[in-house]
Amino acid sequence: MSMNTQGRPTSAGEAAATAHKTFTGNKALDMEEPLIFEIGRTDICGVDLDEVEDFQPRLGKHERKSEIGLVGLSEPETMRHYVRLSRNNYAIDAGLYPLGSCTMKHNPRLNEKMARLPGFGDIHPLQPISTTAGAFELIDELARWLMETTGTSAVAMSPKAGAHGEQCGMMAIKKALEARGEPRSIVLVPESAHGTNPATAALLGYKVVAIPAREDGTVDVSAVQEKLDLYKGEVAALMLTNPNTCGLFEPQVVEIAKAIHDAGAYFYCDGANFNAIVGKARPGDLGIDAMHINLHKTFSTPHGGGGPGSGPVVLSDRLAPFAPLPFIRKNGSELEVIETRDQLVEGEDPFGRMTAFHGQMGMFVRALSYMLSHGSDGLKQASEDAVLNANYVRVGLQDLMTLPYGEKPCMHEVLFDDTFLDGTGVTTLDFAKAMIDEGYHPMTMYFPLVVHGAMLIEPTESESRASLDLFVATLRDLVMSAKSGETERFAGAPYHAPRRRLDETSAARKPILKWTPPAPAQVEPLVPAE
Amino acid sequence: MTTYFTKDHEWLKVEGDVATVGITEYAQSQLGDVVFVELPETGKALAQGDEAAVVESVKAASEVYAPVDGEIVDGNADLEGEPAKVNEDPENSAWFFKMKLSNAGQLEELMNEADYKAYVESL
C-alpha cells in the first residue's frame, strides 16, 4: 500500500472493486431526482412575502375556492431540481447523436450570440412595426437564402416546424386546386415517406394512396403513373421524401415531377432530409411545388431537448399566390408587412393564416447566422461531409451488419436491416438499448417500415474521424458480441442508464396519466414540526 | 366455412355471405405487443383495399384493409378494451370485424392456407 506523509491510504485497494447501495439512492453525480411535486410542500410559499392588508378580491365568481397545490420552492431549490434533471439529458453537445432522418446538428455558439442580441432577443411580436424594420429585413434575407438554395420563387416563413410546414404546403395546394375550380380527393404517398406525410394528407381530408417501394428502396415513376391513371383527375398531389428514408436519392425524381404535373397535380417534397443536398441540387430545379425546410435540422437551430422547431415552406411559381398571411412584400428596397386581406394586390390569394405572427424569430436569427457564417461554399461542404460521414459508417459496418439494398453509396444516412441478427436472439430494440450502455443515443429504429428491424443511422457532418471510428468500433463490438452468443449483454440492457429498460407495452396498454402523491418522506427532521 | 388469406396478412372466414376478418399469427408476431385497435363503424361500406381498421403495437401503427368489397356488419368490441387478445389468439377470438360481401367473386383472387403459408415462407 502506498502511503503519504500523514499515513493516510492513497489508493482504495481491494474495496474499489465492490459497489454498494447508497442511503439516498444516488450514485454520486447520478441523482435520483424526484418530481417537483415530491420535493416541495404545497402549504408554504418559497418566497417570503409580506401579508397583504385590506385585500379586496375583484375576481367575483372566478375567485379561487380551494388550494391548487403548487409547491412552494425557493429559487435555489428550483434551480437545483432542473440542473439535476438536465444532467440526465443526452444532447448533441454531449455525444454523437445518430438519430436517422432527424439531422441532429451542432448548434454553433455564434448563432446563440446573435440570437441574444437585445434587438433580436427582446423583440415582441406586438411592437409597433416602425420599430421592427431590422427583424423584417432579417426575415427577408433568410427567405432569400432559402429560395436561392431551393431554386424556388416564394417562401411562407410562419410554420412552426416540419409537420406544420407540410400542412401549410398542402393547404396551398388545396387552395390552388380550388382556385382552378377542380378540387381533388387523393394524395399519393410512397411507403418510404415520413409518417407525417400521410398524416398531413389525412388531416386535410384527402384519401391517402400508398405507392410501394421498388426492390432497390426507391420510387418507380411507372408505379406513380399507374396510380395517376387509375385515379385520373382525382390526384391532388404526391408527397415524396427526397432523399428518402432509406437514405437514398430518388433517381427518377425529375420524371416523377413531370408525371405529376402532366396529371394536373402538385409535387410536395418533404424537406427533412435536405441536409444531404444543400448546395448540390435545388429541389425547385427537380420540379417540386412545395417543400418545408426544417431550420432546426438543416440549418442548425436547436432541437431535441431544446427547440422550438421552425418549418418555412418554399413554393413554386404555381403555388406562390396562395402563400398564407402574414408575409413580407418587397417593393424595390422597401419592405411592406402584409397582415390583412385588404392589403392584398392582384395575384395574391392567400389560403388563410397558419399562425398569429411571423414565425420563430429566434430560429430565423440562428439559421441566418449559420448560413452567413458558412457561406454558400460552407453549406455545400456541410452536405458533402454529411454524406461522407454516413458512407464512412456504412463502409465500416457493411461486412458485419446488413444493408437491405446492397453495398452502394447512401446519402446523409445509412439504413441497415436486422438480417445480421438472425439466429442470435437479439432484436433491433435490444441492440439499441445496448448502445445506451455504451454512451450513445440509439439510431432511429424500426423505421422506415419497408425494412425489417430497421436501424437508420445519421452521423452529424461535424463528427470527427476519431469520433466516427469509435462509434463504428463500438457497433462492431456489439455485433460480435451478439453473434458470439452474449445475449445477456442485450436482453437486460440498458444496465448503466439512470433507468433500466421500461415496459413499453404496459406504458401503452395501462398508462398512468395522473400523478398521485407518494408516501411521506422517510427522513424525519431533527426538530419535530410544531 | 372457408378460410382465405391476403398478402396484407389478413384472414377471412366466410360463412354464407358474411366474412369474419382478422390478422394472421404471422402479422401479430411481426407487430409485437398490440396496444390499440380501432374498428370500423357498423354500416360502413368499404371497397377492397380501403382502410378498415387500425392496429397499433409498440413498434408501429398499421392499417387493416378491407380484403374484399362489402358492408361492415359487426366489430369485435372486446379488442378495444383488451388489445392484447390480438397477440394471444389472432386467428380466432381476436377477429376484427365482420363484413357482408357485395362481390363474392373477389374471394377467388385470395390465397388458401397452403398458399399463404408458402407466401410467408418466401418473405
User: What is the tens place of the pLDDT at every residue in A412-451?
Assistant: 999 999 999 999 999 999 999 999 999 999 999 999 988 9
- Asked if B54 has any chain A CB less than 8 Å from its own CB, the reply is no
Q: Domain ranges for chain B, please list them.
A: 2-108
CA distance A269 to A292: 7
- Of all residues in chain A, the percent with pLDDT exceeding 90 is 74
Q: Do A446 and B83 touch (CB under 8 A)?
A: no
Instruction: Let me know if residue A483 belongs to a domain.
Output: no
CB–CB of A426/A487 below 8 Å? yes
Task: Say if strands B34-38 and B70-75 run parallel, antiparallel, or are unpaired.
Answer: unpaired
Instruction: Say if residues A367 and A311 touch (Cβ distance below 8 Å).
Output: no
**Within a domain: A155:** yes
Give me the pLDDT at residue B55, please: 95
- What is d(CA B68, CA A340) in angstroms, rounded to the nearest whole number? 50
**pLDDT band with cut points at 50, 70 and 90 for residue A230:** very high
What is the CATH classification number for the domain harbouring A220? 3.40.640.10
Alpha-helix residue ranges (DSSP H) falling in A398-437: 428-437
> To the nearest whole angstrom, how far is the Cα of A505 from the nearest Cα of chain B?
6
Residue A41 has a pLDDT of: 81
Contact across the interface for B35 and A449, Cβ inside 8 Å? no
Mean pLDDT value of segment B48-53: 91
Our CA-based measurement puts residue A193 at a distance from the nearest CA of chain B, in whole angstroms, of 14
The number of residues in chain A equals 530
Residue B59's Cβ-side half-sphere holds a number of Cα atoms within 13 Å equal to 21
User: For chain B, where are the alpha helices, taking DSSP H only?
Assistant: 25-31, 78-81, 85-88, 113-122
Q: State yes or no: pLDDT of A160 exceeds 70.
A: yes
Q: Is B81 on the interface with A (CB under 8 A)?
A: no
Q: Average of pLDDT values for A201-215?
A: 93
pLDDT-based confidence at A529, cuts 50/70/90?
low
Interface residue B7 vs chain A (CB under 8 A) = no
Q: Which residue has the cell 424525519?
A: A524
pLDDT tier at A192, thresholds 50, 70, 90 = confident
Mean pLDDT of chain A: 92
Check pLDDT > 70 for residue A521. Answer: no
Give residue A520's pLDDT band: very low, low, confident or very high (50, 70, 90).
low
Distance CA A272, CA A458 (A): 12
Distance CA A229, CA A239 (A): 17
Nearest CB to B60 within list A449, A504, A508: A449
Q: With cut-offs at 50, 70 and 90, classify the pLDDT of residue A40.
A: confident
Amino acid at position A494, single letter: P
Q: Which among B35, B36, B59 has the least Cβ separation from residue A446?
A: B59
Write out the H or E segment, with its range, that includes residue A197.
helix A196-203
Compute the Cα dihedral for A450, A171, A154, A160 and give only its sign. negative
Where does the pLDDT of residue A518 fall: very low under 50, low under 70, confident under 90, or very high at 90 and above?
confident
A16 part of a folded domain: no
Strand-strand pairing, A327-331 and B2-5:
unpaired
Q: What mean pLDDT do residues A57-82 have?
A: 89
Kindly tell me if the per-residue pLDDT of A479 is higher than 80: yes
A446 and chain B: CB distance < 8 Å anywhere?
yes
Residue B25 pLDDT exceeds 90: yes
Is residue A460, in this structure, part of any structural domain at all? no
Q: Residues A31, A32, A37, A43: is their CA dihedral positive or negative?
A: negative
Is A239's pLDDT higher than 80? yes
Q: For B17, phi and psi rounded to 5 degrees? A: -110, 20
| Gap between the Cα atoms of A452 and A462, Å rounded | 30
Measure in Å the smallest separation between the Cα of B1 and chain A Cα atoms: 33
What whole-number percentage of chain B has pLDDT above 70? Answer: 100
Q: Determine the pLDDT at residue A186.
A: 97
Nearest CA to B72 out of B106, B48, B97 is that of B97
**Quick check: B50 pLDDT over 70?**
yes
Q: Per the domain annotation, does A264 fall within a domain?
A: yes
Chain B closest-CA separation from residue A453 CA (Å) = 10
Q: Kindly report whether the global pTM for this prediction surpasses the value 0.80.
A: yes
A501 in any annotated domain = no
Instruction: Report the pLDDT value the prediction gives residue A525, as an integer from 0 to 100.
Output: 72
Evaluate if residue A381 carries a pLDDT over 80. Answer: yes
Q: How many other C-beta atoms lie within 10 A of the C-beta of residue B73?
A: 15
* % of chain A at pLDDT higher than 70: 97
> Domain total for chain A?
1
pLDDT bin (cut points 50, 70, 90) of residue A77 is very high
Please determine, for residue A1, whether its predicted confidence score (pLDDT) is greater than 60: no
Please report residues of B whose CB lies closer than 8 A to that of A509.
33, 35, 83-84
Tell me which amino acid residue A386 is.
A
Q: What pLDDT is stored for residue A52 in this prediction?
A: 84
Phi-psi region of A166 (alpha: psi -120 to 50; beta: other; left: phi over 0): alpha
Mutate one of B35, B46, B54, B87 to test the A interface: name it (highest A CB count within 10 A). Answer: B35
> What pLDDT is recorded for position A269?
97
Position with higher pLDDT, A50 vs A259: A259
Predicted confidence at residue A68, as pLDDT, reads 82
State the residue range of the domain holding A278.
Answer: 111-370
Task: State yes or no: pLDDT of A522 exceeds 70.
Answer: no
Give B17's pLDDT tier (boundaries 50, 70, 90).
Answer: very high
| Distance of alpha carbon A427 from alpha carbon A388, whole angstroms | 28
Q: What's the CA gap between B96 and A417, in Å, rounded?
A: 30
A307 falls within a domain: yes
Closest CA to A387 of A470, A292, A273, A294: A273
Alpha-carbon span A150 to A289, nearest angstrom: 11
- Tell me the C-alpha distance between A148 and B114, whole Å: 58
Q: Is A269 helix (H, G, I), strand (E, B) or coil?
A: strand
For B83, the closest of A447, A504, A509 (CB atoms) is: A509
Amino acid at B19: A
The three-class DSSP label of residue A134 is helix
Other C-beta atoms closer than 10 Å to the C-beta of A287 total: 18
Mean pLDDT across B18-26: 96
Helix then strand then coil, in percent of chain B rounded to 5, is 25, 40, 35
pLDDT class of B20 with cuts at 50, 70, 90: very high
- How high does pLDDT run on average in chain B? 94
Q: How far apart are CA A344 and CA A340, in angstroms?
A: 7
Q: Domain B2-108's class?
A: mainly beta
Closest CA to B107 of B66, B56, B62: B66
Across the interface, which of A446, A449, A505 has its CB nearest the CB of B35? A505
Helices then strands, each counted (H, E), chain A: 15, 12
Give residue A67's pLDDT.
81
